[in-house]
Structure 1
Amino acid sequence: MSRDDKGTISVRLVNEALLAFTSAALPAEQLLHQLGLVSVDLTDTDARIDVADFSKLWRRLARHFDDEFFGMNARRMRAGSFAFVCRAAMAQQTLDGALRVALDFFGLTFEGFRGELSRSESLAEITLSETSNVPPLRAFSYFTFWMLLHGLACWLVGRRIPLLAVELRCDEPDYTDDYRVMFSRNLRFARPTTRIIFAAEVLDLPVRRSEQELHSFLAHAPSNILVKYRDTTSLASRIKAQLREVPAEQWPTSEALAQTLCVSGSTLRRRLADAGQTYQAIKDQVRQEMATLWLADASITYAEIAERLGFADVSSFYKAFRKWSGTNPGQYRSLILRADEPIASRFP
């Protein structure tokens, strides 16, 4: 995703959203016209549309077909379902209770998969138990489900909940850039199960939302989910992209970085502060991204990871990882590698 794509969605995801509703008799362009939406060149895979337009598409498809899940399940998620689950979840005291209520609701709504929340020491995971011997859903289906659930969770506690990993049963699609911005750079495909992993400490956060806040949230959904609760800071994204290109020990100082961005050091610090960021925080975010990727590879030792990230020793890496993620590298590696074990609970 380019640095100018804040607040936009790839036209490839528009095609994904329309896929279940189109046919030879009703091509995508005709459907868009029927819905009263601005014509989009769906053949231009590099094109992007404003998030507000994608949100409008979502709402009009939901009303027209009485389905808030883009026709991707045998059971429709009838219009008004998301509002209902939001209201039920916000009545809970903590995010833990809210997520369990939401997962119960979605379990009754959809056929073929059910989400299960569990804790493992300082980590939490939500795993989708799917019907045995059924091919995996397409990536867009999984990500749409996670967007609804994760977006709701972020809104309930009023902060972004970082996802340490997102794993999916399906193969990697041709396009993943927007998904990596919306959810996590640590996306893993063709996995035994579909799940998200995050710090368990957020489950204890209180839910304090009013009916008035709910009305505002729903009035702007899903565009507020797509934009507000993701990393869309253009400057931070540009800096992260630069840091990912070189080893950690070669990362520039803030003054050297400012020169590459053609601004003064003080201007860089001010612009980052205006966005609620610091250069150190951005470096830590990139280090965490890299650490979570390497921890999923059992052949890479903790000492090697610490060295790659520029830490003096393994102990310093352990302390930093716990500060970033709320867990230690050993617990995370244990949970991420456990995915290869058989799933005990599946639908018959």
Structure 2
Amino acid sequence: MLDMIPNIKSSLSGGRNPMLDYAVWPGWRLLMQDAGLATSPVLRRAQLPADLFARLNVRLSSADFFKLWEAIEAEAKSIDANLPAPLRIAQVMSSDWFDPELFAALCSSNIGCAIDRIAKYVRLIAPMVIKIQRTTSHATVTIDFLDHTTPPPSVFLAFKLVFFVQLARLATRSKIQPLSVSLPYSPNLEADLLTYQSYFGVAVTNSPVTTLVFAAVDVDRPFLTENHKMWLFFEPSLRQRLTDLDRTAGMAERVRSTLLESLPAGEVSMQVVSRKLGVSTRTLQRKLQDEGTTFQQTLDTLRDSLAHHYLRNTTMSSAEISFLLGFEESNSFTRAFHGWTGKTPQAVRSEICSDENRQGTDSC
């Protein structure tokens, strides 16, 4: 059973950093069949090897993985234009469908515990950051990515939201309804908004960050599938593979991953990052130097990438972007951005809007 969990070895990644790749496990073939999706046309659409789902330990780049999801969506729509792929897959999700993420979650005591576990081990299967923030009345789940160079398609974001809701319903055997659902809109998604609204029970709104909010009572609702003994058997392998992943990943990528989680809280100092990584600042500096970079360069590169992502995909103000990037004030962000690009954030946003107008894809 544990052999079916994706490990960090790459079949297709060609030596890329495994922290930025996505795992594809052989069980996808069963999933596709259950969902009524033929694998051959999907893989042809995605321009991927015809035996991809028969291989072990496959990892794809962001670009190839997202092409795969777009191909799955296209194939699903060719069968039924009114049923998006995430909802088609949700119809066949069951406790005997062995997906590592689903299995680990089903062993949990409730959806809150399940999301905590997924958040801890998600890097084994995807370069994602999943967070859950709780209050007395609700819990907010957010999904972000370590790599912002290739934006994920809306079908993949929608699938992750559907996955969490379907997981909660499957494990509790109750019609749990989220309080709110939001993700970045795309033209393809907008055509399916009413269908997704019918599934979730609430409207799907447009936001720069993929977000799902559950009522506190639903977060703590007991899972009927809880299996603590199985989890105790299952977790050591996951824990070891996470350790192996960190060991093989470069220090710059580990710093980048830590900063991505820490930026909105303003925790951007080398001391804070060193403590979270469990190394001294001297060791951190030395390892970054060995990789041809510095802490400040890594921080600036991440901030620059995220800033362009927010400017291109959201209508957030410079002040709002400044906060998300961990700057104390908006002017500091503007000065830093000008240092990276030679332009102001407003100028770059105007250029992006002009380009999109010329291409007929205006989202400004």
Query: Into which bin does the TM-score normalised by the smaller protein fall?
Result: 0.3 to 0.5
Higher relative contact order (CA 8 A, sep 6+): 1
TM-score, L = length of structure 2? 0.37
